[in-house]
Each structure stands twice: as structure tokens, then as C-alpha cells.
Amino acid sequence: MITLEQVDQMRKRTNCSYEEAKFFLEKHNGDVLEAIVDFEKSKRNTRNMNNDPKKNASDFWQSVSALIRKGFETRVVIEDSNYNVFINIPVNILLLFIIFAAYIVIPVLLIMMLLGYKLSIRKPRGEVVELSKIMHNVAGNGSNSNQNVQQQNQETAVKQEEQKDNYNEMIIE
């Protein structure tokens, strides 16, 4: 049987949780020394697995490689109003253009959208994200929200006037 004193002693010496102390003490039938040794071994093993620099570097470069590959598979497509493709380039290339020539690329993209060209991102599995529609929705909602606020203010003022008009006043002298 594990006593609270044994759990407290193990926690004090190892800075572990009650659950961990109970687990290791039960595993070693209440032998505090064996439980502490086993606890330290298990912590050392988990620390070594997580801090392997070669493995972490390998994982990092694999994720970077996968991201670059996905960037070349995902395409930015600019079409005119008749759905004739004007530009079809990988996202990575567009990002490089934006990084090195942002003062040219961003205004050109905005002008093309204003002229009616459709800007979309096409993912490898056929998903399409239409940036033009998103921009139009954002622009439309912005002006609509101002109109909605003005309309709500007017409705509130009208309701307050109606309440004043319908207010029955009794004077008792």
C-alpha cells in the first residue's frame, strides 16, 4: 500500500505530479528509491527523444520541402471576364515577385482586379479560392455596414419619437 508520506517524499525529491509519483510507487511496490530511479530514467529517455538535434533539423527541412512543393503545385490564375487565362503561375513565383518587386506587383494586381480580371488560387485537388469575390464581398460589406448603422440609428430615433407621442400623461391636482 502506498502512503501519502511516500508520495510526498517522491514529489519533494523529483518535482513530479501526484499521478506520476503514485504510478511509479505502485510499479515498485512502495520502494521510493526504485521509483525515483525509474522516474529519472523515463524522464531522461523522453528528453533525449525530444532533443535530438539531427531529428529536429531533419523534420524542419522535410516540412520546408513539403511547403515549397505545395507552393509549386498551388497556382495563381488571373482570367478575364470570358474566362480566358491571362496568367497562370505557381504561388511561390508570385511570392518571389511580391518580395522583390512589391511596389510594382501589388498595384498591377489591384488594377487588374478593378478592370474586371478574376484573381483566384487553385489548389492541386481542384479547390478554387476566388480572391476577386472575397475582395468584392469585403468592399461591399464595408459600405453596407455603414448604411446599416445609419439605418439602425434612424429606426431607433423613429421608435423613440413614437414612444414619446404615445405616452399618456395624467395630471392629478
- Mean residue pLDDT across the chain: 80
Query: Are the CB atoms for 130 and 122 separated by under 8 Å?
Result: no
In the chain the domains, ranked by start, together with CATH numbers, are: 4-53 (1.10.8), 75-163 (no CATH)
Query: Which pLDDT band, with edges at 50, 70 and 90, does 131 fall under?
Result: confident
Which triple of cell numbers denotes residue 167? 405616452
pLDDT digits (tens, 9 = 90+) for 95-121: 999 999 999 998 998 888 888 888 888
Whether the pLDDT of residue 133 is over 70: the answer is yes
Under the banding of pLDDT at 50, 70 and 90, the label for residue 75 is very high
| Backbone phi, psi, residue 59, to 5° | -60, -40
Q: What is the mean pLDDT of residues 153-171?
A: 54
Can you read off the three cell numbers belonging to residue 108?
A: 498591377
pLDDT more than 90, % of the chain: 25
Return the minimum-mean-pLDDT range out of 28-42, 128-142, 159-173.
159-173
Question: Does the structure show a pLDDT above 80 at 159?
Answer: no
Give pLDDT, residue 112. 87
